Amino acid sequence: MSPKNSVDKWQLAEGSPTPHLANTSKKEIEVPGKTVEKLQDLLRLAEKGKENAVPEIRQILNEHPNLAWDFVDLAKVAEDALIEDMTREQDLATRELIRCQLEAMKKEIVGNEHSPLERLLSERVVVTWLEVQLFEALYVRNMRNLSIRQADYHQKRLDRAHGRHLSAIRALAQIRKLLKGTTITQINIADKQINTTG
**Domain shared by 179 and 83, yes or no:** yes
What integer pLDDT is reported at residue 189 of this predicted model?
66
Q: Between 142 and 73, name the one with better pLDDT.
A: 142
Q: Between 18 and 83, name the one with better pLDDT.
A: 83
**Domain shared by 114 and 174, yes or no:** yes
Last residue of a domain, one of 71, 96, 118: 71
What integer pLDDT is reported at residue 150 of this predicted model?
94
What integer pLDDT is reported at residue 114 of this predicted model?
83
Q: pLDDT tens digits for 138-170?
A: 899 888 999 999 999 999 999 999 999 999 999
Contact 95, 79 (CB under 8 A): no
**Domain shared by 42 and 120, yes or no:** no
What integer pLDDT is reported at residue 27 of this predicted model?
45
Last residue of a domain, one of 36, 71, 106: 71
What integer pLDDT is reported at residue 89 of this predicted model?
78
Percentage, residues of the chain above pLDDT 70: 75
The dihedrals phi and psi of 143, each to the nearest 5 degrees, come to: -60, -30
For the chain, the domain total comes to: 2
Last residue of a domain, one of 53, 71, 89: 71
- pLDDT confidence of 192, banded at 50, 70, 90? low
Give the span between the Cα atoms of 44 and 12, in whole angstroms: 13
Give the span between the Cα atoms of 5 and 103, in whole angstroms: 13
Q: Which residue from 177, 68, 181, 195 is spatially nearest to 118, judged by alpha carbons?
A: 177
Domain extent, residue 61, equals 3-71
What integer pLDDT is reported at residue 195 of this predicted model?
61
DSSP 1: -
**Domain shared by 80 and 176, yes or no:** yes
Q: pLDDT tens digits for 127-145?
A: 999 999 999 998 998 889 9
pLDDT at 19 over 60: no
Contacts of residue 139, Cβ cutoff 8 Å, sequence gap at least 6: 151, 154, 155, 158
Q: Which residue from 6, 16, 15, 63 is spatially nearest to 38, judged by alpha carbons?
A: 63
DSSP 185: E
How large is the average pLDDT for residues 98-121?
A: 90
**Domain shared by 31 and 87, yes or no:** no
Q: What angle do CA 164, 165, 169 make, to 5 degrees?
A: 115
What integer pLDDT is reported at residue 165 of this predicted model?
97
Give the span between the Cα atoms of 180 and 198, in whole angstroms: 13
Partnered with residue 196 across adjacent β-strands are: 185
Contacts of residue 26, Cβ cutoff 8 Å, sequence gap at least 6: none
**Domain shared by 83 and 19, yes or no:** no
What integer pLDDT is reported at residue 146 of this predicted model?
92
pLDDT at 9 over 50: no
Residue 75's Cα: distance from chain center in Å? 3
**Domain shared by 66 and 82, yes or no:** no
**Domain shared by 99 and 42, yes or no:** no
**Domain shared by 83 and 11, yes or no:** no
**Domain shared by 93 and 164, yes or no:** yes
H-only helix segments in 18-110 = 26-29, 33-47, 54-63, 68-71, 74-86, 92-110
pLDDT at 56 over 50: yes
What integer pLDDT is reported at residue 125 of this predicted model?
95
pLDDT at 11 over 50: no
**Domain shared by 104 and 166, yes or no:** yes
Give the span between the Cα atoms of 102 and 78, in whole angstroms: 12
**Domain shared by 110 and 121, yes or no:** yes
